[in-house]
Chains A and B, each alone.
Chain A
Amino acid sequence: MSHPEHVPDDVVAAFRAYLSGDRELWKTRNEALDRSRTVQRAYRAFVSAMFAEAVDRRLGRHPAWERIVEFVADIRARDDALADALDPDETERMIAWVDDDAGIDDIDADRSLGIWILVVTVIVRDADLDDAGLDAFLQRARTFADEVLG
């Protein structure tokens, strides 16, 4: 049951639950996801697309380095858990990477996935999206990811 050319519905549904703040539903849906390599690839593509979409929404295209530094510091200053989870250098480089394809190969795949999810969560929460806004956000990310996967 693999869909290598696009993001499966259940991946989108799982993240919809996560970003809505329904952690129980997220847990259920996430645990039910197909663990095949192709779906995992789509999962990662979708998360990175959400990250790009969220960063673009919050900071615009090609944000200045100073703006990135301020933004990451603002996130990390919110609580110790975020400060510990988000390495400032890695997070800033991830954000810069959205627009300029800077090297992030030295950042472990699991760490990068964790950074993407945390940053997306913060930006979406700050945006205080309603259901329609969240669906539109997820759809844009899905379209972007599908293009990459296709």
Chain B
Amino acid sequence: MRITRRDVAALRAYLHRRMFRGVFLVFPIPPWRKVTGGTVLLDAAFRLAAHRRFTGRTRADVIRFVARARIRRGPAGPNRLEPGPAEQVIMSVLTGTRPGHLTEWQRAKSLILLNELIDDEHLTATELEDFITEAVRLAAEVRRE
């Protein structure tokens, strides 16, 4: 298993909200029981985004962030965020209670939250590329653990 150019392209497409340009070939809809280069990269991107957004912050900041994300996404539909699980998946990353790979359930939530975290940073195109590069580096480290 390795992280391919296609994995990186899929993450970039996802973060740019170009959802259907092959992204689901790499991050297919659940079940995600199989750990692939794409899922490792997604995990790394989520962990990176969560740490960037919340390092030095408190649980209260996570609660407020999830509430704002939920309001942006609305009360119903496939993009709906459940507050408890959303807070839990972020806190598990921040407190280090989660190993290098997300569970299938956590990954389903993190895929939605990743976009919210990135949107919240208002990154320029260059900064977004830097983020992706850093996520790839982190994913490579996870694979060696």
Contact = CB atoms under 8 A, between A and B. Distances in A.
A77 B84 contact: no
Interface size class of B (residues with CB under 8 A): 10 to 19
Given A77-B60, A78-B60, A89 B82 contact: yes
Interface string A66-96: 1001101110111010010001110010000
Interface string B16-60: 000000000000000000000000000000000000000000011
A80 B83 CA distance: 15
A97 interface: no
A77 B64 contact: yes
Interface of A: 65-66, 69-70, 72-74, 76-78, 80, 83, 87-89, 92
B63 A77 contact: yes
Nearest to B74: A65
Given A66-B71, A80-B59, A73 B66 contact: yes
| Smallest CB-CB A-B distances: 7 pairs | A73-B67, A77-B60, A88-B83, A77-B63, A66-B71, A65-B75, A69-B67
Interface of B: 59-61, 63-64, 66-67, 70-71, 75, 82-84, 87
Nearest to A88: B83
| A interface, over-half SS | helix
